[in-house]
Amino acid sequence: MAGAYKWKKLSELDINDSFFNSLKEDYPEFEEWYNKKANEGKQAFAYIDDNGIGAFVMLKVGECEEIPLANQILPKCSRLKISTLKLSDRVEGNRLGEGAIGIALWNWLESDDEEIYVTVFDKHRKLIEMLQKFGFELAGYNSRNEGVYIRSKNAINFMTPYTSFPFINKETRAFAMLPIEAEWHDKIFPYSELKNTKQDTEEFAAANGMTKTYIGFSYSIPAYSPGMPIMIYRISEEQKTFKSVVTSYGTIVRFEIIKQNWDYIKSFDEYVKLVGNKSVFTYNKIKEFYEKQKNVFVLELVYNHAFGEGCNVNHYTLNSCGIWENIHPYQAIYSMNDFRAILSLAKQDENKLIK
């Protein structure tokens, strides 16, 4: 049976699963703490498959206290604490570990907490590397000699799409659009209207990772570039103007032209390597695109945010508001004002998303 991320009550998980052994070794009080939280009805975000638990995340919103460190004291402020974050060796470094950290950051985005932090022993190098990839910085060491890794909404690092995830830089001047057929959209992205709750969307997204890879082919090569925010436009084949909608947005990590005007820019092996394991396309489909399409590109993006059920913005509304440009969306470039208008139509709090 394939594994899946689920929000689970602690009482539904087996504290005797070998997954928890290292936590019991590192924290002698862990089992007592766990049972106390289980009795309080607390939840965790856990990945479970036939081998047992593979990832475990617990969040505490609204903590407001000083954090004593060896070299300084971090002053009181409202923080989201990742009270437990553990990834087994079999998921560290892949999309499941990325998904666990991504969901913690999505919850931070939606909260009113100024900072987010987690404590980790130095021996957990792979986990630390992933945290640093997502913008967490070492503030110092606590009395247990754990590293305290922290992010602040007042100091977002926009150097990469990951260190800034899931926020958009207020200085951004150009936004792109990714038009994607409904069939592929619903497999690559957690299509909000098919998910009944926020938890459903989180579970779907985390299991598929925050990094998405899409193979595109169009009449001409799009005007995309790494670091550019990109809105996701789901194309419906029925009642297109009312059912084709902007559902979410991300930030471009990589854009590689594979084939242009029938000329091969990348070899087939290079192309397959670029696609990696983050695409929903089968090997035969990947090969078919390479052989039969005039223009082929590989787009890798990090999935910043979904608007949510009932908040998607359709083509009719975009057109009525003068946002829809009279060119193919692959070629359209949108302004920050356009993006803010779409956020407003999608009932999103731009002050939380744009920093």
pLDDT digits (tens, 9 = 90+) for 333-342: 999 999 999 9
- DSSP labels for 273-327? HHHTTS--S-HHHHHHHHHH-SSEEEEEEEEEEE--TT--EEHHHHHHTT-S-SS
- Is CATH 3.40.50.300 the right assignment for the domain spanning 176-353? no
pLDDT given at position 194: 52
pLDDT digits (tens, 9 = 90+) for 157-201: 999 999 999 999 999 999 999 999 888 888 787 555 555 566 666
Report the length, in residues, of the chain.
355
Mean pLDDT score of the chain: 90
Query: In the chain, which stretches have pLDDT less than 70?
Result: 1-3, 91-94, 190-208, 277-278
pLDDT given at position 192: 53
Residue range 4-152 forms a domain whose CATH class is alpha beta
- Please choose, from the candidates 297, 290, 200, 217, the residue with its C-alpha nearest in 3D space to the C-alpha of residue 4: 200
What residue spans define the domains of the chain?
4-152, 176-353
pLDDT given at position 94: 63
pLDDT given at position 259: 96
pLDDT given at position 203: 65
pLDDT given at position 205: 67
pLDDT given at position 235: 92
Alpha-carbon distance 202 to 99, whole Å? Answer: 9
pLDDT given at position 238: 85
Token couple for 88: 């087994």
By CB atoms closer than 10 A (0-12, 13-18, 19+), residue 197 is: exposed
pLDDT given at position 93: 54
